[in-house]
């Protein structure tokens, strides 16, 4: 797949001379740029606009770089730690929650990395005492902008000095070149979001093909990387079980089960305002035409029996490939866990413990 290059770059004046800004500009030498006084004013003036995947904003992160996954008190949460290096994604998936979640329509990179490292230093005690699963894939794709940022080498150097921290990179791309031939020390888990091939073709407009993602995962597994898969969002459509079976068969053909740390399952869910935004951008999409009900977190969800059937059947397919594969649900109640998977963590802390143990294996 073709690496992302924006059509315009906005640069906050205060960061125009920072190393990451210069690096990005050196790789986008033909892209027009505009220096702006403050990113906040540009974002405020753009509230309500549809996402602009062709525009890149380089600015300072004035908030926290390290934060717990927002999750919800209504469902089990895995204790993931978000490393917020930017927001927005160029892959243009019709169901992407970021379309409604963010008030910033631009793909944004936070270039004040010196402050990020200071924040890590301030959390040094915690990093040494407990397992921390850190991820950069909450507010964007972990690898989609790596060719502009060269973030991974510095992160690998940092992880090599930590006893209990690991980095999970989540992606729908095949941009694995920055990871090849690296001494990762078992500190990196590379995870791919997967879906049925029909959904990937119709709803994930600039993402890599499913077969290409799995082949990329196989290349990294051969280099000793731990691999994860996230079937999220699972979508109910005629023939869905056969379609997801084909994806599991591809995994079985390319990835030894001993390389897989975990597989998560999550059904399509969305904030009510997302439907209208998505339909403006992706008028051909039909994924929101099913019957949905409000969940405990206010998001629209499939009826519980539909979700349980999706999870249970896909879990059965995965367990036929690898009986001991670790499967967990994203943002579901203990009742759904029990009925779909046959077990349920007793608490968020229990689920975190299970995933932390997978890291240590």
- CB atoms under 10 Å from CB of 155, counted, come to 17
Q: Name 172's Cβ contacts closer than 8 Å, sequence gap at least 6.
A: 91, 93, 141, 192, 193, 204, 207, 208, 213
* pLDDT exceeds cutoff 70 at 128: no
Token pair of 350, please?
A: 């229990």
The third-level CATH classification (topology) of the domain covering 63-360 is pyruvate-formate lyase- activating enzyme (3.80.30)
Q: Which helix (H) or strand (E) holds 233?
A: strand 226-234
Q: Name 229's Cβ contacts closer than 8 Å, sequence gap at least 6.
A: 191, 192, 193, 194, 217, 251, 260, 262, 263, 264
Q: How far apart are the first and last CA of the chain?
A: 33
- Could you tell me the pLDDT band of residue 129, with boundaries at 50, 70 and 90? low
Mean pLDDT of 261-286: 96
* pLDDT exceeds cutoff 90 at 355: yes
pLDDT at 74: 76
- Could you tell me the pLDDT band of residue 360, with boundaries at 50, 70 and 90? confident
Mean pLDDT of 194-216: 98
Which strands sit side by side in the sheet containing 86-87, from one edge to the other? 33-36, 8-12, 52-59, 106-110, 86-87
The answer to whether 21 touches 27, Cβ cutoff 8 Å, is no
- Could you tell me the pLDDT band of residue 18, with boundaries at 50, 70 and 90? very high
Distance from C-alpha of 335 to C-alpha of 231, rounded to nearest angstrom: 20
The answer to whether 132 touches 163, Cβ cutoff 8 Å, is no
Mean pLDDT of 38-65: 94
- Using N-to-C axis directions, what is the helix angle for 304-321 and 334-341, rounded to 10°? 50
Mean pLDDT of 22-42: 97
Q: Name 322's Cβ contacts closer than 8 Å, sequence gap at least 6.
A: 257, 260
Mean pLDDT of 153-168: 91
- Could you tell me the pLDDT band of residue 288, with boundaries at 50, 70 and 90? very high
Identify the DSSP state of 143.
Answer: S
pLDDT at 127: 65
């Amino acid at each position: 797949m073709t690496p992302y290059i924006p059509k315009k770059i906005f640069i906050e004046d205060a960061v125009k001379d920072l190393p990451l800004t210069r690096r990005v500009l050196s790789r986008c030498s033909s892209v027009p740029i505009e220096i702006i006084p403050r990113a906040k004013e540009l974002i405020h003036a753009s509230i309500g606009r549809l996402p602009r995947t062709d525009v890149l904003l380089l600015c300072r992160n004035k908030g926290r770089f390290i934060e717990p996954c927002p999750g919800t008190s209504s469902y089990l949460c895995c204790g993931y730690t978000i490393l917020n290096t930017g927001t927005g994604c160029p892959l243009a998936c019709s169901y992407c929650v970021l379309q409604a979640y963010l008030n910033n329509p631009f793909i944004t990179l936070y270039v004040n990395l010196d402050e990020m490292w200071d924040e890590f230093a301030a959390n040094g005690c915690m990093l040494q005492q407990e397992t921390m699963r850190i991820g950069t894939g909450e507010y964007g794709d972990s690898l989609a902008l790596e060719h502009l940022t060269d973030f991974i080498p510095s992160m690998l150097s940092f992880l090599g000095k930590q006893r209990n921290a690991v980095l999970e990179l989540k992606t729908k791309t095949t941009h694995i070149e920055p990871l090849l031939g690296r001494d990762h020390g078992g500190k990196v888990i590379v995870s791919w979001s997967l879906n049925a091939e029909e959904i990937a073709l119709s709803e994930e407009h600039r993402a890599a093909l499913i077969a290409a993602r799995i082949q990329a995962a196989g290349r990294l597994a051969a280099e000793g990387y731990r691999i994860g898969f996230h079937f999220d969002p699972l979508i109910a459509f005629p023939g869905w079980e056969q379609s997801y079976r084909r994806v599991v068969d591809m995994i079985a053909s390319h990835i030894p089960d001993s390389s897989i740390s975990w597989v998560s399952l999550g059904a399509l869910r969305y904030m009510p305002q997302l439907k209208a935004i998505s339909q403006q951008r992706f008028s051909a999409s039909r994924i929101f035409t099913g019957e949905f009900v409000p969940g405990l977190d206010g998001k629209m969800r499939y009826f519980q029996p539909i979700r349980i059937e999706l999870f249970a059947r896909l879990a059965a397919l995965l367990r036929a490939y690898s009986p001991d594969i670790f499967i967990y649900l994203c943002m579901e109640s203990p009742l759904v866990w029990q009925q779909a998977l046959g077990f349920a963590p007793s608490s968020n802390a229990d689920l975190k413990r299970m995933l932390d143990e997978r890291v240590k294996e």
